[in-house]
Structure 1
Amino acid sequence: MSAAPDERRQLRQAVQRQPADFIAWVMLADAELGAGDVAAGETAAQRALQLRADHPEALARLGRARWMQGRHDEAASLLQHASMQAPQHPGIALWLGHALEDAGQPEAAADAYRRAHALLPGEAYIAAQRLNWQRRLCDWRGLDALSRQVRDAVAQGNPAVEPFAFLSEDAGAAEQLACARQRAQAVAGSLRPLPPAPVRLSGPLRVGFLSNGFGAHPTGLLTVALFEQLRMQPALQVHLFALNREDGSAIRRRLQAAAHTLHDVAGQPHATIAGHIRAAGIDILFDLRGWGGGGAPEVLALRPAPVQVNWLAYPGTSGAPWIDHVLADAFVLPPALEPAFSENVLRLPRAFQPSDNTRIVGEPPARGDCGLPERGEDGSGIVFCCFNNSYKLNPRSVGRLLRVLRGVPGSVLWLLSGPGRADERLREVARQQGVEPARLVFMPKLPHPRYLARYRHADLFLDTHPYNAHTTASDALWAGCPVLTAPGATFASRVAGSLNHHLGLDEMNVADDDAFVATAIALGNDPAALRGLRQRLAVARRDSGLFDMAGFARDFAVLLQSLHP
C-alpha cells in the first residue's frame, strides 16, 4: 500500500532531525517503496544498514528495493540472509517468497510462503499469496481450506486479498466486486487526487493507455495491430505509458512506431507518472492492467485524466471510484452481470478483445520432436491441448480434461510446462485418476512465433474454469485450433466464449462439465467431424470480423468520441 504524502514528508523531516534514528530510516524506506519511489527507498534502506550493519529489518527493505528494481537474485540473497537472522518474522518470509518466485526458485518460494502462513495463520494476505503460488505449482495440498480462508476474508471486508488472484477462486461476480472494492478503498485512503483535469475543447482526442505489457507480453500482442490502425485515425492521438522497460522485442518496436508517443515511465513514483499523464493532456486514459501484477492502480487513483476506463487485461470490475467505465461486449458482460460492476458498462459491437492479425503461423517441428504421437491411419493420436498458465489448472478443470483422455483412446493432452514440480504433480494426478502419466505432454515456454506454430499439431483446445483462456484462446483460434469452453457467470469465465460467439461457433460454448466432456470425446473419436470443425473455423476466421482490426479501430474511435464532451 502507498504511504500518504504527509507521512513520507514527516519521516523525511524526522531523519533530518535525527539522522541516527535507525527505526525512522526503516520506516522511511517502507514509505518510499510503498509510494513507488524505488531510488529513495533504496537510499533509506542503505542508510539504515550504515547505522546497524546486517540488521534483518534493513536488509529486508534493501531486498524489497532490489526486487522492485528487477534485480531478483540480489533480492533473494538479501532476503534469505534477513530471514535466517529473523526466522520468526512472517513479513520477511513473505517478501522472500516474492523474491524467490522471480529469481527462478519456485519450490523454495512455496516453502517461504508456507512458513510465513504458519507464523501468521490468520493473516488473509499471506494466505492468499500462499494459495496463489500453490495454484501455480499445481500443489493442491490444503487448497480448499486456503480458499475458504481467503473467501471468508473477502466476505468480512478484509482488503488484503489481491483481486487478480481472487479471479481463480470459485467465487461469484458479487464476491469479485467486494474484493476489488475493498482493495480500492485501501489504496485510495492514502492518496490525494490531483485537481480536476481541464477538458480540452479543440485538437485531436488524446487517448492514453497505461500498462506494464508494452512489449513481448500478452497485452502488447493483443493491442499492437489495433494501435497501428488507430494511428490512421486523424482525430486521435495514441499515447502509451509503459510501466515496463524496453525489452528489445519486435512488438515493442511496433508499439513505438504505432503510438504518437510511447512514454517510458518504468520505475517512476506513482505521483510522477500521474503528473506525466496530466502534462501530456490525456483526455481518456485506459488502464490496461488493473489489479494484475505489475500494474499501478495508485496512478489511476490520483485521477490524472478526466475520463478513465478499465479494459482488456483485468477481466473483472475494478471496484474503484477512480474508474468511470469498463469496456466489454454483450457476451462477456451481459446485462445480468452489470450489478456486479462498479463502472458504467460500455460495449463494443464486436468482441471486446483485439488481436494481432499480422502474426504468422509458421511450420512447427515434427510431432515426434514435440513429444507427440504420430497420427494413426485409424485416427488415433488425437492431440488435445490446453496452453493456459498453470494456475488455471485447478482440480475441477484437470478432472474434466482427464475424463476426456479416458474417453478417447490413444489421445494425449498437451500442456504448457509449469514452474517447479508442477508437471510432475499433474502427472501424479493423472496416474491417480487412471490415466497413463505419459499421455500428458509438456511444452516449455517458447518465443511467441514458435509457440504459435505448434497449434498446427493440436486438434482441439480444451479450456479451463473459472478462469479461462483469453490471449491463449485468441492464439489458438488464429492458428486454426478450435476452442471448447463452458462459459460461466463471471467475466473471466466468458472470454473464450465471447471469441467463439463472435466467430459464429456457439456450439463450442457448452453448458457444463458433462457437456464439455461429452463434446470433446465425441469430437476426439470422430476425426472427420474435427476436420469439418477446423474448416468452419478457417472460414469464420476470414469472414466473421473477429480478427478485423481496421473495423475494430473504427468502432473503437466512434466509442472514444462518444466519451469526450
Structure 2
Amino acid sequence: MKSVPLPAPCPALQQALAAHGKGDLKSARTWYDQAVDAPEAAALAWLGRGVLRFQTGDRAGGIVDMETALDRNPHDDEAWSNLANAYRAEAQFEAGAECARRAVELNPRQALAHANLAACLRPLGDLVEARAHAEEAVRLAPDLNSGWRTLGAVWLHMGDARRASDCFYRALQLDPALPDAWSEWLFALQYRDDISAGDILEATRLWTRSQPSAAPGARPSAIQRIGLVSGDFRAHPVGRMMLAFVPALRALGVDVVLIANQSQMDGVTEQLQDAASAWHNVWALPTETACALVRRENLDLLVDLSGHSADHRLDIFAARCAPFQVSWLGYSATTGVPSMDAWLGCPWTMPEGTEATATEALLRLPNVFTCDSRTPQSVPAGPRDQVVFGSFNNLAKLSDTTIALWSAVLAGIPDSRMILKYRGLGDPALAGALLARFEANGIEASRIECRDWTEEADVNAAFADVDIMLDTFPYSGATTTLDALQRGVPVVTMVSDRYAGRMSAAFLAAYGAEDLITSTPEDYVECAVHLALDGTRRQQLREELPRRGATSSVHQPQQFATEWLATVRSLAQERAA
C-alpha cells in the first residue's frame, strides 16, 4: 500500500507524514489525529491515518478512514488506489476492482492503480482484462514490483507457467528481500514442464540461504499437543480435508490447536473452530508476536499446511516454535525451511529414491497422503452417443505437454469431445486462447467445450456429462481427481518426477485403479483410448470405484488419523533415540 504522497500546509499533517515515513507509527498516529480536524488537510490526514491503521492491523478502521478521505476529496486517484488495495487484501475483490477502476479513470498513467485493478480482477476470473492492466502497469513503471507479481499470477492462472515464473523472477530481481516474491516464484515452478524436480530443489535452496536455522530445544518422546497452521481453514480443499481429519485426530486423545492466517471466514471455519482444542488467528500479526502466541501453546508438533502457497506463515516455522515441525498437504514440494524436520507424504507421492528432492527428511504415511469427509456416491453418466473426456483442473496445470497429450487422445477417438471446466472459462477471450492451443495440435475447436465454474449444487450434473477425466502433467490433479473418483468417473494419469505429479496416482491406488496410472506419453494415450473404446468397463468403473474408495483410508478418517499419528510419533521416537 502506497504511503500518502504529498504534505499540505498544515504543521500537524507535515509532522504526521514525516513520522510515518520514518516508521515512527505511534507519533504519526498522534499527529494524524490532530490533522484530521484541520479543514485544509483533512482529506490527506484521513487517508494517511487510514493507511497507518491498515498497516498496523486495524484493517476495518483503516478502510473506514480511507473512505472518509475520499468523501472529502473524491478526485484523489492515489486514495482510490490505496482503498482498492485494502479491499483486495481483505478479499473484497469486487469492491477493490470498483475503486481501482475509479483510480484508473482519474489517472490512466498511474501504474499502481492498474496493478491493483489487475490484482482484483484475477480472483474474479476476469483474466484477460487483468492481464491487460498488469501489462500496462509494468509498461508505465518497469520497476513496479507489484506489477510484475500481479502479471505473474495472471499468467499462471491462464496456464502459462513459464511466463509466470519469469515475471516473479523479475520481481525478485527488483527486490531480492521480498519473501512473497520468492514464494510465488517457487510455487509457479511446480507447474513447468521444462524443468525437473532437481531444478525446483536448487531454486528452493537459493531461498533457503536467507533463512535462519533454529535448533530445537528439549524434545518430547511422545507427541500429544499438535498445532496445524494454515491460511485455508475455510471452503478450500485443505479446509475440507481438515473437517474430516481434526475430529478424528481429537478422538485419539490428542490436543489439536488450529493456527489460522486468514481474513476470510465461513461455515467451514466455524466447524473447525468447534472441532479444535483451541483456535488462534495470526492474520497480519508480525513474526515476533505470532511466534510468541504459538510458543505459549507448548506444542509438541507444529504442522505447516501451506508451504509456499498464499497466506503461508513459514516465518513461524523458520523461528522454530515447536520441538518437532513438519510440512504436509497444502504445498506439493519441499519448503526449504532449515528448521522443518520432515515433509509428510505417502509411498505414491514420495516413492523410494526421491529423498534427494527435499531439504527435509521424507516421512511416509502407509497408504495415502490425506483423507476426505465425504462419502463416495456414483453419479450415472448421462445419455450420449459419443465419448466425452473432461478436465476440471486449474488452468495453471494446462501445460503444453498436457495439451499435446489430450490432443493425441482426442485424435485417437475421432468422434469424441472434451469438456474443460474452470473459473474464467466463461470469458470468450480466455476460452478462445485455450482453444487455439488445441487447434495448434490438430484438434478442431468445435470438439472442445469450455465451461465456467459453478457452485457445488451443479457439480454432479457436470460429472454426469463426462465419461473419462484426463489428468494434467507435470502437476496432476488432487481434489479434482478425488471429486471424480468418488462419483465413479475414471481418471487417467501420467506420473511426473515430482510430488505434485503423483497425487492422482495416490488416489487411484487407494481406489483400486492402479491400471489407470501410466508413466509414458505413449502409455497415457493408449490407456485413455482403450478405456474410451470399452463402454462395458467404463460402466463397471462407474459403479465400482465409489464402493472401492469408501473402504480406503481416504474415506475412513479415523483409520487415516490413526495412521497419521503413528507416523508422526515415529519421528519423535526416532529423533529422541
Verify same fold: TM over 0.5: yes
User: Against the structure 1 CA distance between its residues 90 and 344, is the aligned structure 2 distance closer, same or farther, given a 3 Å change threshold?
Assistant: farther
Q: Cα 1:308–1:9, aligned 2, differ >3 Å: closer, same or farther?
A: farther
Matching residue of 2:448: 440
Alignment check: 8 A CA contact 1:392 1:464 kept: yes
Moved more, 404-413 or 128-137: 128-137
Aligned to 1:370: none
1:245-324 superposed matches below 5 A: 247-249=265-267, 251-252=268-269, 254-265=271-282, 271-324=288-341
Give 1:111 shift: 1.2
**1:335-355: CA deviations, max 9, x gaps?**
443233222221111221222
What is the CA–CA distance in structure 2 between the aligned matches of 1:481 and 1:279, rounded to whole Å? 47
Query: Is the alpha carbon distance of 1:65 and 1:145 closer, same or farther for their aligned partners in structure 2, counting shifts above 3 Å?
Result: closer
Amino acid at match of 1:233: L
Q: What residue in structure 2 maps to residue 507 of structure 1? A: 515
Distance 1:331 1:540, change over 3 A: same
Deviations 1:360-405 (A, max 9, x none): 53757x83xxxxxx333xxxx2221211112212333123212212
Structure-2 residue corresponding to 1:240: 258
Question: Is this contact kept in 1: 2:379–2:463, CA < 8 A?
Answer: no
CA deviation map 1:289-324 (0-9, x unaligned): 222123333444444333322110111111223433
Distance, in Å, in 1 between the alignment partners of 2:174 and 2:355 is: 23
Once the 2 structures are TM-superposed, how far is the Cα of residue 527 of structure 1 from its aligned partner? 1.8
Residues 355, 16 of structure 1: CA spacing in aligned structure 2 closer, same or farther, 3 A cutoff? Answer: closer
**Which residue of structure 2 lines up, in the alignment, with residue 371 of structure 1?**
none
> Aligned partners of 2:68, 2:463: CA distance in 1, in Å?
53
What is the distance in 1 between the residues matched to 2:467 and 2:441? 23
1:257-284 deviation digits (Å, cap 9, x = unpaired): 4322344555655555444333333321
Task: Tell me the distance in 2 between the aligned counterparts of 1:203 and 1:245.
Answer: 34
Q: Which string of whole-angstrom CA distances, capped at 9 and with x for unpartnered residues, describes residues 521-562 of structure 1?
A: 122122234345556645642555443322211111112333
CA shift in 2, pair 1:201/1:486, >3 Å: closer
Q: Which of 403, 407, 412 is 1:402 aligned to?
A: 407
Matched residue, 2:484: 476
- Say if 2:392 is the partner of 1:392: no
Distance in 2, Cα, partners of 1:499 & 1:547: 11
Corresponding residue number in structure 2 for 1:4: none
State how far apart, in whole Å, the 2-side matches of 1:360 and 1:535 are.
Answer: 11
Is 1:340 the counterpart of 2:348? The answer is no
Q: 25, 28, 33: which one pairs with 1:12?
A: 25
- Equivalent AA in structure 2 for residue 489 of structure 1: D
Shift of residue 149, structure 1, vs aligned partner: 6.3
Name the CA distance, whole Å, in 2 between partners of 1:423 and 1:506: 33
Please state whether the residue corresponding to 1:97 is helix, strand or coil: helix
Summarize the Cα distance change of 1:137–1:238 in structure 2 as closer, same or farther, 3 Å threshold: same
Counting only pairs closer than 5 Å after superposition, residues 11-410 of structure 1 correspond to structure 2 as: 11-12=24-25, 15=28, 38=59, 55-84=76-105, 87-103=108-124, 105-121=126-142, 126-127=147-148, 129-137=150-158, 160-161=181-182, 162=184, 163-170=186-193, 171-183=195-207, 205-234=224-253, 236-244=254-262, 247-249=265-267, 251-252=268-269, 254-265=271-282, 271-356=288-373, 358-359=374-375, 361=377, 367=382, 374-376=383-385, 381-410=386-415
Which shifted more, 238-247 or 304-313? Answer: 238-247
Quote how far apart the aligned CAs of 1:217 are: 1.4
The residue type equivalent to 1:231 in the other structure is R
Q: Rate the CA distance shift 1:117–1:248 in 2: closer, same or farther, 3 A.
A: closer
2:12 aligned residue: none
- For the 8 Å contact 2:488–2:541, the answer to whether it is kept is no
Structure 2 residues not aligned, in runs of 5+: 2-19, 36-40
Are 2:513 and 1:497 equivalent residues in the alignment? no
Aligned residues: 540
Q: Deviations over 1:6-65 (max 9, x none)?
A: x99943156268757999999998787677663586589689989998554454333322
Question: 2:93–2:121: 8 Å Cα contact kept in structure 1?
Answer: yes
Cα–Cα, structure 1 residues 124 and 182, in superposed 2: closer, same or farther, change >3 Å? farther
Residue equivalent to 1:418: 423
Against the structure 1 CA distance between its residues 179 and 34, is the aligned structure 2 distance closer, same or farther, given a 3 Å change threshold? farther
1:361–1:453 Cα contact (<8 Å) kept: no
Structure 2 distance, partners of 1:284, 1:37, is 31
Q: What SS class does the counterpart of residue 396 from structure 1 fall into?
A: helix
What are the superposed Cα offsets for residues 208-242 of structure 1, whole Å, 9 maximum, x if unpaired?
Answer: 112232232111222322222212102x1112223
Deviates more, 1:446-455 or 1:289-298: 446-455
Structure-2-length-normalised TM-score: 0.79
Aligned residue identity for 1:556: W
Please report how far the alpha carbon of residue 175 of structure 1 lies from its aligned counterpart in structure 2 after TM superposition.
3.0
Distance 2:44 2:503 in 1: 48
1:351·1:546 contact (CA, 8 Å) conserved in 2?
A: yes
Cα distance in 2 for residues equivalent to 1:114 and 1:538: 46
Judge conservation of contact 2:492–2:517 (CA < 8 Å) in 1.
yes
Query: In structure 1, what residue type is equivalent to 2:197?
Result: A
CA shift in 2, pair 1:117/1:271, >3 Å: same
Does 2:463 correspond to 1:455? yes
**Equivalent-residue separation in structure 2 for 1:153 and 1:512 (angstroms):** 36
For the residues of structure 2 that align with 1:52 and 1:183, how far apart are their CA atoms?
43
Query: What CA RMSD, in Å, does the superposition of the two structures yield over aligned residues?
Result: 4.2
Aligned equivalents of 2:67, 2:314: Cα separation in 1:
28
Q: Is the 8 A contact 1:60 1:79 kept in 2?
A: yes
8 Å Cα contact 2:219-2:324 kept in structure 1: no
Offset, 1:166: 2.7
Q: CA deviation at 1:463?
A: 0.5
Q: Which residue of 2 aligns with 1:525?
A: 533
Which whole-Å CA distance do the structure 2 matches of 1:198 and 1:430 have between them? Answer: 56
Cα distance in 2 for partners of 1:29, 1:43 equals 7
Q: 1:202 to 1:44 in 2, by over 3 A?
A: farther
Q: Write the letter of the residue equivalent to 1:361.
A: Q
Greater mean deviation of Cα atoms: 427-436 or 275-284:
427-436
CA contact (8 A) 2:29 2:52 kept: no
What CA distance in whole angstroms lies between the structure 2 residues aligned with 1:31 and 1:307? 37
What amino acid sits opposite 1:96 in the alignment? L
Cα contact 2:376–2:549 (8 A) shared by 1: no
Distance 1:284 1:177, change over 3 A: same
